[in-house]
Structure 1
């Protein structure tokens, strides 16, 4: 009796083992099959890549940090910038945690022509970025994917690369870290966290080592929140240890305030003004040290130049009217949301008037008055300049024109001014008073509603 039970138990165990083995074998086969079904990421030679540039069914994609695309030589690349004709889709964008991320990434792919029917060449310089983007594209059903090491392309001076004329105005975190480590080779430099208010909570939570807080009230004042007088701007510079030949690096948790101060410093005559591309998150994500101890301002005795040394960089109401009167070669460009431009809302709790200066053209901004999504990538770095130019062309705005950017009080427009400067546009300025100043005088002509024609 015991023997029968024992044989039955052995039979059950054997049967269970066979079932388990069959299940595992099936799972392994399915996994192998699934792997085989996945598109293979192929390598492409420099010669083949060169022959594909400009073909309608091929798209060349720079997957590196935005800074490398702009012009910085990073990760051992001999020449900075991008392969001529390439679009950008940074692997860094896949790591950003934002609302509706997948929807926004899909929109980005479509905007850049990265679609399933295309042959897609992904290039990087670290052997990682292209693979990360490739895996993402495969998950979206794309199959014809190639990868390439841009160091090979950059090593040959005969092969075309391009970068923004003034890419140096936007700096990567590694450049700021090197600046600190080398102490700017003995030359004067300052790093500032910029935001509104005497007490910056962001600064207290953590900041770049050695950084000092700048309150935007130090450079602008009520009632219109225009820049301060040259005399008061000089006092600001002296208090913060800024001379005309000081290298000044600006950043913030949101970069808009940093761009506002950057524009004013350039107007004053500071020759080397930089903004950390992507803001403080760029520094943190790069893994560099953060300190919480506050640093005191260090003053200097002389700015070393007459302020403003670059007076045309920021203009006032009379010049804005001159630009509006020149219908052929000039544009007053509105950097506010469409609802603000058409007079549906004001966008500010302290600005009651709605509308725009008569004759101003819309230059995009985004739906949120506190953001600039039309000009930023999803990691808050500068958007592809070609895409910016294409947006503007819909409204007759071209790089060869005299362009003055304005918003409500100068913050959003200052950021766009710097981006235009990065791209190398020449005849550009910030209309400082913006809609707040224009609407304060009933004699200034105003338009409301959609324009009759673009």
Structure 2
């Protein structure tokens, strides 16, 4: 091998190492824009007009919440029919947001006390109904991270001036139905992946055939904060969840699935769908096929989790 070819080979190998295995992120400017650290959130709160949304249960919110925050709980943005925790209609979401002083132009920071899943579910709901992604962020690590960052907390009820919120669209491209999945399974195409984010015990009782299992908690560090995009961009491709494929995500009722959706979206994945009916719908239909997992997720091939 001559000297020029050897140099070219070394440079190519180095580029492959830097880019990782298969992560083809097409929106680098938007990577990392959906999740914000508690420290950074607190700094921005003091310099701009941001609405802070606490997504705890109303009883937990009354016990303690970030001073100045409003409360939008899971029940405020979901419906209980035909299956639990499904996406609420536009009118209910409109009322919920407006009653909490949120307009279409509002910039919001969202947090929870539940492994980032309820904050992510509100974020996903607003994404579906057309809120500008640049104007909403989830605070990584939620309430615990805010406390660690020195935030002020209070208790009791709150008062807020009502705003006007108008929903003009519903992005169906972000939602998968049972029929959508059955059609894909019947075509035996390889341009999609199904991601089950439940626990090992849950998936041990059955999955949608061909599903890849990655517990949603794998998105969180020990501190409860999300792993950064660089980690997600390594970990998921190592488990055959790559940006080039459509990824359909589900759990039992797709609240946890919203957290994985957010982690992937924050890492630059864009062809994502949440199966809102989730395993509770799939498993209750005797006609749908069920499968079993063939193996556990592999560990990422990089050593840092920063």
Range into which the TM-score falls when normalised by the shorter chain? 0.7 to 0.9
Q: Distance in 1 between matches of 2:195 and 2:257?
A: 9
Unpaired stretches in structure 2, ≥5 consecutive residues: 1-12, 19-27, 299-306
Match runs of 1:434-445 below 5 Å: 434-445=278-289
Structure 2 counterpart of 1:211, from 64, 69, 88: 69
Question: Do 1:164 and 1:422's aligned partners in 2 also have CA atoms closer than 8 Å?
Answer: no
SS of equivalent residue, structure 2 residue 150: coil
1:263 aligns with 2:128: no
1:169 aligns with 2:17: no
2:101 corresponds in structure 1 to: 241
1:230 corresponds in structure 2 to: 90
Structure 1 counterpart of 2:194, from 316, 332, 339: 332
Q: Distance in 2 between matches of 1:388 and 1:230?
A: 32
Match runs of 1:1-400 below 5 Å: 165-184=30-49, 189-196=50-57, 199-201=58-60, 203-223=61-81, 224=83, 225-254=85-114, 255-271=116-132, 272-303=135-166, 305-308=167-170, 310-324=171-185, 325=187, 327-343=189-205, 355-362=206-213, 364-365=214-215, 372-400=216-244
Once the two structures are TM-superposed, the CA of residue 337 in structure 1 deviates from its matched residue by: 2.0
**Highest Rg: 1 or 2?**
1
Which string of whole-angstrom CA distances, capped at 9 and with x for unpartnered residues, describes residues 297-318 of structure 1? Answer: 4322342x4032x332233223
Which string of whole-angstrom CA distances, capped at 9 and with x for unpartnered residues, describes residues 7-26 of structure 1? Answer: xxxxxxxxxxxxxxxxxxxx
Once the two structures are TM-superposed, the CA of residue 400 in structure 1 deviates from its matched residue by: 1.0
Question: Do 1:200 and 1:213's aligned partners in 2 also have CA atoms closer than 8 Å?
Answer: no
Which string of whole-angstrom CA distances, capped at 9 and with x for unpartnered residues, describes residues 316-356 of structure 1? Answer: 2233334434521111211112332231xxxxxxxxxxx11
SS of equivalent residue, structure 1 residue 405: strand
Give TM-score scaled by structure 2 length. Answer: 0.78
SS of equivalent residue, structure 1 residue 336: coil
2:6 corresponds in structure 1 to: none
Q: Distance in 2 between matches of 1:341 and 1:447?
A: 9
Q: Which runs of 4+ in 1 moved over 3 A?
A: 322-326, 384-395, 448-451
Once the two structures are TM-superposed, the CA of residue 391 in structure 1 deviates from its matched residue by: 4.0
Closer, same or farther in 2 for the Cα pair 1:175/1:323, shift >3 Å? farther
* Bigger RCO (CA 8 Å, 6+ sep): 2
Q: Distance in 1 between matches of 2:293 and 2:151?
A: 48
Give TM-score scaled by structure 1 length. Answer: 0.54
Which string of whole-angstrom CA distances, capped at 9 and with x for unpartnered residues, describes residues 173-223 of structure 1? Answer: 233323432342xxxx42111123xx322x233322210111211111214
SS of equivalent residue, structure 1 residue 195: coil
Question: Do 1:205 and 1:292's aligned partners in 2 also have CA atoms closer than 8 Å?
Answer: yes
Closer, same or farther in 2 for the Cα pair 1:273/1:320, shift >3 Å? farther
Root mean square deviation of aligned Cα: 2.6
Once the two structures are TM-superposed, the CA of residue 247 in structure 1 deviates from its matched residue by: 1.0
Once the two structures are TM-superposed, the CA of residue 423 in structure 1 deviates from its matched residue by: 0.6
Which string of whole-angstrom CA distances, capped at 9 and with x for unpartnered residues, describes residues 18-49 of structure 1? Answer: xxxxxxxxxxxxxxxxxxxxxxxxxxxxxxxx
Once the two structures are TM-superposed, the CA of residue 263 in structure 1 deviates from its matched residue by: 0.8
Q: Distance in 1 between matches of 2:254 and 2:267?
A: 20
Unpaired stretches in structure 1, ≥5 consecutive residues: 1-53, 56-83, 86-162, 344-354, 366-371
SS of equivalent residue, structure 1 residue 191: strand
